[in-house]
Structure 1
């Protein structure tokens, strides 16, 4: 047996890393949480979520450009010298730039989110879409930039990193719930005069120049969208300060010296552990704590899963986490368990299991990042604005809690995973059918309809969130780096296909129908 290294956790460093990673998706999630209010005031109305979904997915081109540029720069650097591609200054500078962009976009958006302009003959929410684009680019890039920075810390701090990413969905949801449910609108009489009549004296106006309309008047939330976005900006400022302290405080210097002094010992320990696992594999003595299996291949897979159990529990709950983890494995400070995966598990994922997990990830992301967000207004608003508000904000909280719980709950078997996916996809079909039947879906004027919609949405969100982490963990444990690359690719593919499909069906067909809350009272 070789020497072992036990990295003790420094609580302030753990807390600072959690606050730093909070900045990854909090800006984008915050805008989704405010959708029930924005839909009431912006010209796109019920179609607004489909536009936002498309914008976010189009911004995924930023990580692709960044990755391509990095590879080109790396090759040039390697050709000119024998030095590696890592750059410590860049690893610190890029996260700071990303957080500053997020702070700026959130703060400016708080003042201009409701500014519109005419594009062609249609009024559009140009300000919101512009700042959403900035936020999305920053969030997508954070998936590639943050993890390489984390390689300077012991792997035990990865749990703090992913915990903070989970909070990036949880905190906006909780703030949104504190904003109140808003309530359902009342209909008020509004008098509309003809423009030609307004330019003359009212004595010359006839009854044909006057129209009496019923317009919805929505209850005001406890605090406005502007205050909400300012709160998000303040959280991002906290994240920036945490990152600053991580890099320029004495606490950070102490942790880095401690990490550097133990790197050699950890490397020896990792090599010995790998050799020991190979020996156990050859002797047929490897077993798994969660299930027993027969055959050499199953035993090898079980051993790999046991060795990377702690690492697998740290998979990020964010949409791009599966891709970003593969980037961290290229770093020279990759964890010991990643070495075991490379040597043992990478060849052990069968083609059928690989195809199943990849197709599941495509389906999950088509639903969660495309179809459901885009059509949710049509599913919920016919029942009431309160139903839409509850569904969006509770889903943000429940999804984050489900992802965080995966750090502590054992991963399910492939049969249980299949049942989870099947159940969640069944709920997706149910919600899409309800959206198609809008504005008069079943149970619309009963107490059971709203309860059914909210409860099924929360069940679907929790199952999908847990399934995302499970799929990525399995592929990481059994397929290694190559499987994670495929995982990241199909994640983006599913998200893009879902967003494009939903946008086309909502905006270019008459399948989905919206209605004003007061239209039935004309």
Structure 2
């Protein structure tokens, strides 16, 4: 029975950020098909921030109409919405509509909003539900949350999404000289996209299956014997209502209402890491909060908006690898934080500076698009992929350890953590969206036909 509970808790956790993580790793293929092209990541980033109306609504309902929302019912609703949205996305992702005379992927963007709504709202519902089980099952749930980023990345690697090659194509053109018009043949390089190992339709159907697995796992978890409740009451009595903030504060979790780390901010094992309460001066607390705001702005708003511009000039294969491997770096950083925790503010500051340097390199390459340094060199490809992986990994570790430190401080400290994390994410997205989509400060071009100075 214990093994079954662990499997169900893990499967339930994978549904927390599965859909949005799946979207991000599929973007290298989507930008080659959808009319938004290189603008697509910035659209997804701002839509995810808009989807935070979900957890905001849940929080306000709990604050002003406590007892009206049933926790189990809310989870059933949001996971069901996730299943339906993934299924519709599989068939409607490439449908376009004309707006102001230009085609846009309205169906894709609307369904992306619903998927983001599901994942953001899961941050304030899934973990409070799991807190009713014994602690070892909460740890397994956290492992599932990590897998919600790892599984889509592995599927995308197997799919080989967005990989392309350059082909020499002949074209006939008419050349006019004086009164004579002659037909001539010219040769030019064009990008030919290699077909993925399986289609986008199948990818989203796999995401649908994963969300359905999450729904079924939750169904069976709600029907477990009552012995798991630590207060010796029934595990799921009919009187249980949504009290996300109570659970979040009591158990020391902060809201994960963004595209950030979908792993525990307070890992429970081994040994409930760093559980002792430590006093920090106002200056040190201010420093930690500034780190949280800065790191969240970079990882959740600023850099995701320009990933296509920093990677696509090196080719779609490079973009594919950077998107998938950096997405895998997130859960791996969470695992490292679980087994190698550190309260050192100096180390957090150093890692933040290192991550910022990696992010600055990625941003500089995006600004130089479509002709960055080392463009046609394997060193350039390797450096940009490594830079994205290290950017995500170092700053994810900082966010995890900041959450652990603030948990030992007080409950209200975690509320401020969640608020500043969201503030940083929102500011980053709001700053970058007009720069990318309105003022067009970042330039795109076809990789193969591009003529860059040597």
Residue 226 of structure 1 corresponds to 201
Question: Displacement of 1:473 after TM fit?
Answer: 0.8
Question: Displacement of 1:317 after TM fit?
Answer: 7.7
* Contact 1:374–1:502 (Cα < 8 Å) also in 2: yes
Deviations 1:284-321 (A, max 9, x none): xxxxxxxxxxxxxxxxxxxxxxxxxxx77x87888489
* Contact 1:190–1:215 (Cα < 8 Å) also in 2: no
* Structure 1: runs of 5 or more not aligned: 1-8, 75-84, 194-205, 264-310, 329-336
* Contact 1:323–1:485 (Cα < 8 Å) also in 2: no
* Paired residues for 1:443-458 under 5 Å: 443-458=374-389
Structure number with higher helix proportion? 1
* Contact 1:162–1:317 (Cα < 8 Å) also in 2: no
Residue 426 of structure 1 corresponds to 357
Change over 3 Å in CA distance of 1:53–1:320 after alignment to 2: closer
Residue 113 of structure 2 corresponds to 133
Residue 236 of structure 1 corresponds to 211
Q: Please, which of 14, 21, 27 is the counterpart of residue 29 of structure 1?
A: 21
Question: Displacement of 1:325 after TM fit?
Answer: 9.1
* Structure 2: runs of 5 or more not aligned: 174-180, 235-250, 267-271
Question: Displacement of 1:207 after TM fit?
Answer: 9.4
With structure 2 as the length reference, what TM-score do the two structures score? 0.85
* Contact 2:289–2:420 (Cα < 8 Å) also in 1: yes
Deviations 1:79-98 (A, max 9, x none): xxxxxx497xx121111111
* Paired residues for 1:166-315 under 5 Å: 166-180=146-160, 182-187=162-167, 189=169, 216-248=191-223, 252-256=224-228, 259-261=230-232
Question: Displacement of 1:70 after TM fit?
Answer: 2.1
The yes-or-no answer on 1:461 pairing with 2:392 is yes
* Contact 2:149–2:262 (Cα < 8 Å) also in 1: no
Higher mean alpha-carbon deviation, 378-387 vs 214-223, is at: 214-223
Q: Please, which of 65, 86, 89 is the counterpart of residue 106 of structure 1?
A: 86
* Contact 1:317–1:468 (Cα < 8 Å) also in 2: no
Q: Please, which of 362, 365, 373 is the counterpart of residue 304 of structure 2?
A: 373
Change over 3 Å in CA distance of 1:48–1:466 after alignment to 2: same
Residue 280 of structure 2 corresponds to 349
Deviations 1:153-172 (A, max 9, x none): 12332211211111110110
**Secondary structure in structure 2 of the residue aligned to 1:512:** coil
- Give the whole-Å Cα distance in 2 for the aligned partners of 1:471 and 1:453: 27
Change over 3 Å in CA distance of 1:226–1:322 after alignment to 2: closer
* Contact 1:322–1:484 (Cα < 8 Å) also in 2: no
Residue 60 of structure 2 corresponds to 68
- Give the whole-Å Cα distance in 2 for the aligned partners of 1:357 and 1:207: 71
Q: CA RMSD in A?
A: 3.1
Residue 198 of structure 1 corresponds to none
